[in-house]
Structure 1
Amino acid sequence: MFKHIKDMEYTVHVDQPDPRFANLLLEQFGGPHGELKAAMQYMTQSVACNDSKIRDMLQDIAAEEMSHLEMVGECISLLLGPTDNISRDFPALHMALLAGGPPLMNSMGIPWTGAYIESTGDLYTDLSSNSTAELRAKLIYERLLQQTDDAGVKDMVRFLLSREESHNFSFMQAINTLAGTGVNKNFRDSEFSKKYMNLSTGMGDARGPWNQGNGIQYEENPNEKYGGPAQYGKDRGPDSPGEIGPGYTDRTRNNPQFAQPQSPNPSPVTKPQSPSPLH
C-alpha cells in the first residue's frame, strides 16, 4: 500500500523563475539517471527479491526516490514561472506548450522509457548496478550545481546529491553481505578468470591491483600464447563442476563430436521381427 503525505521530504524553494535551468533539471525527472528510473528500478527488483532484509531496503529507497521525483517536478514547475503568455524564445518552450510542467523526458527531449530499468533477479548484480546508478545521479547533480545561482535551488540539489551518496553507501554495504553468492559465487570457474591480458602495445603499460597480486597472472603477449586455434587444454568432463551436469542430454548442440556415454550395464535391446514376405 502506498500513501502520499503532503509534506515533502525537503521543502522546495525557488528565488525566481529560470526556464533554462528548468529544462536542464528535466534530466533528473525523466532522464536515464533520474529519480523515476531509480524508483522503478528498485521497486521492480524488490518484487523478485527473496531476501527479506534486502527487499525492505529496496522498497525503502524506492519510496524515497518517488519523493525525490516529486521534489524535482515541483522545482521544475516553479522554475518555469507563469506560462499563460510566453515569448517565442522561451528557453523551455516544449514544457510551456505541453503542460506547463515537467513531461517525462530528459533535457534533450527524449522520452522516458522502461528500457532504463535494469533488473536481473541476481542480487549481487542488481545491487552493483544500483550503486553505479546512484553515482551517476550524484554526478548529474554536481554538474547541475554549476548551472544555477539560485540559493533555494542549490539547497535542494545539495540535499538530493547527499541522498544519492547515502543510497550508494547502503547498496555497497548490502553488496558486502552477498560475497560468495549469486554471480559472485559462480565467478572464477576456470583459469582465465584470474588472467590479465595485456592487449595494448607500445610504451606506457601500467601495473596496479587490477593486473597484479591477488592471484592474478599477467599475460604479456596473450596473442602468442593463446592466439590461433583453441589450445586451452582438454575440455572438462560433462559432469565436472561448472558444467551443465548430469541429466542434460543435448550435448551435441555445441560439440557435434560428443559421444553420448553408454550405461555401464546396458539392457539388451530386442529388435522387432521383420514381417514375413508375402508369397
Structure 2
Amino acid sequence: MFYHDNELQYEVEVHDPDPRFAKMLQQAIGGAEGEMRVALQYMFQAFAVPADKSEYRQLLMETATEELGHIEMLATAVAKNLEGASEEQREEAREDAVIAEMMDSGQPRQALSAGLHAMPVDSNGVPFNGGCVVASGNLAADMYANIMAESTGRTLAARLWEITDDPGMKDMLSYLIARDTMHQNQWHAALETMDDHLPVPNSFPQEKENQDVNYKFMSTFKDEQPDPEERWTQGESIDGKGEFSYGRQPGGGEPDLDEVIEAMHNEVN
C-alpha cells in the first residue's frame, strides 16, 4: 500500500530555464541509470523477499518509495526548465550549430506529446524498458546489482551537476548524489549482514562444480602468455574458499552438431 503527500521530497528550483538541460535530465528519469529503474528494481526485489527476511523487504520497499520521490523531483525539474524558457533563450541556443541540432532532433515529444513536461523516456526519447530491472530472487545477487545501479546513477548525476550552471539544479543534483552515496553504502552494509554468501548463490554445493577452473583466470590470447601476477591470478580467492591461478582455455574440440530437423528448412542448396 502506498500513500502520497503532495509535497516534493526536496526543493526543486530552476533559476535559468534551459530546454537543453531538460532533455539531459530525462536520462535520470527513464534511462538505464535512472530513477525509474531503481524504483522498480527495489520494489520487485522486495516482492520476492520471504517473510522470515522482513528486515530486507522493509529496506528495499523504503528505498523504492524514496526513488519514486526522486522521479517526481526530476519531472518537476524538467517541466520548470521547459516551461520557463523564454523565446530569447530558445533562439540564443540555436546560434550554436551543435546545440541547434540537439534542439531540433532531441526531444520534440516533450512539447508534442507531453505539453512541455517530463516523459518516461531517456535522453534520446527511448521509452523506459523494464529489461534493465534486476530482481533475481537471490538477495545477495540483488544487492550487488543494486550497488552497480547506484554507482552508475551517481555517475550520471555527477555528470549532470558538471553540465549545469544553474544553482537550483546543482542543489537538487547535490541532494540526489548524496542519496546515491547512502544507497551504495546501505547495500554494502546489507551484504555484510549476510554471512558466507559468496559465491552467489551459496546454496549450490561447490564440490559439484568443476574444481579445475573454479578459481582460474583464463587467458584468451591465441599464444600462451605469462602470468601477469595480479590480485586475480594468484593468492587466496575473495570468498576464501580457493586459490587464484592463471591458465588457458581447456579446449573442447570442434562442434559436432546433429542433423538438422527437416521441418526447420535449414538445408543449404
1:211 aligns with 2:233: yes
For the 8 Å contact 2:29–2:120, the answer to whether it is kept is yes
Matched residues in 2 for 1:187 and 1:26: separation? 45
1:104 aligns with 2:128: no
CA deviations 1:45-104 (Å, max 9, x no partner) are 101101101001000100100011111110111011258988796934321222110111
Paired residues for 1:212-231 under 5 Å? 212-214=234-236, 215-220=242-247, 222-223=248-249, 226-228=250-252
Matched residues in 1 for 2:126 and 2:27: separation? 10
Matched residues in 1 for 2:244 and 2:58: separation? 40
Matched residues in 2 for 1:141 and 1:187: separation? 41
Paired residues for 1:262-273 under 5 Å? none
For the 8 Å contact 1:198–1:218, the answer to whether it is kept is no
TM-score, normalised to structure 2, is 0.76
Task: Select which of 63, 66, 75 maps to 1:64.
Answer: 66
Question: Per-residue deviation at 1:203?
Answer: 7.2
Residue 157 of structure 2 corresponds to which residue in structure 1? Answer: 141
Alignment-mate amino acid for residue 2 of structure 1: F
Residue 83 to residue 18, structure 1, CA distance change in 2 (3 Å):
closer
Matched residues in 2 for 1:196 and 1:68: separation? 41
Matched residues in 1 for 2:85 and 2:113: separation? 11
CA deviations 1:198-242 (Å, max 9, x no partner) are 33457785332222111324234x34xx3346xxxxxxxxxxxxx
Bigger-Rg structure (1/2): 1
Question: What secondary structure does 1:33 align onto?
Answer: coil
Aligned residues: 227
Paired residues for 1:158-237 under 5 Å? 158-181=174-197, 183-186=201-204, 188-189=206-207, 190=209, 191=211, 192-200=213-221, 206-214=228-236, 215-220=242-247, 222-223=248-249, 226-228=250-252
For the 8 Å contact 1:15–1:151, the answer to whether it is kept is yes
TM-score, normalised to structure 1, is 0.74
Alignment-mate amino acid for residue 199 of structure 1: T
Question: What secondary structure does 1:102 align onto?
Answer: coil
For the 8 Å contact 1:196–1:216, the answer to whether it is kept is no
Matched residues in 1 for 2:194 and 2:204: separation? 12
Question: What secondary structure does 1:169 align onto?
Answer: helix
For the 8 Å contact 2:22–2:82, the answer to whether it is kept is yes
Q: Which has the higher helix share?
A: 2
Alignment-mate amino acid for residue 148 of structure 1: T
What percentage of residue pairs aligned between the two structures are identical? 31
For the 8 Å contact 2:35–2:71, the answer to whether it is kept is yes
Task: Select which of 53, 56, 60 maps to 1:54.
Answer: 56
Matched residues in 2 for 1:21 and 1:188: separation? 51
Alignment-mate amino acid for residue 227 of structure 1: G
Residue 141 of structure 2 corresponds to which residue in structure 1? Answer: 125
Question: What secondary structure does 1:10 align onto?
Answer: coil
For the 8 Å contact 2:75–2:118, the answer to whether it is kept is yes
Matched residues in 2 for 1:187 and 1:151: separation? 55
Worse overlay, 32-41 or 204-213:
204-213
CA deviations 1:1-43 (Å, max 9, x no partner) are 2111222221011101100011001001111111111111111
Residue 5 of structure 1 corresponds to which residue in structure 2? Answer: 5
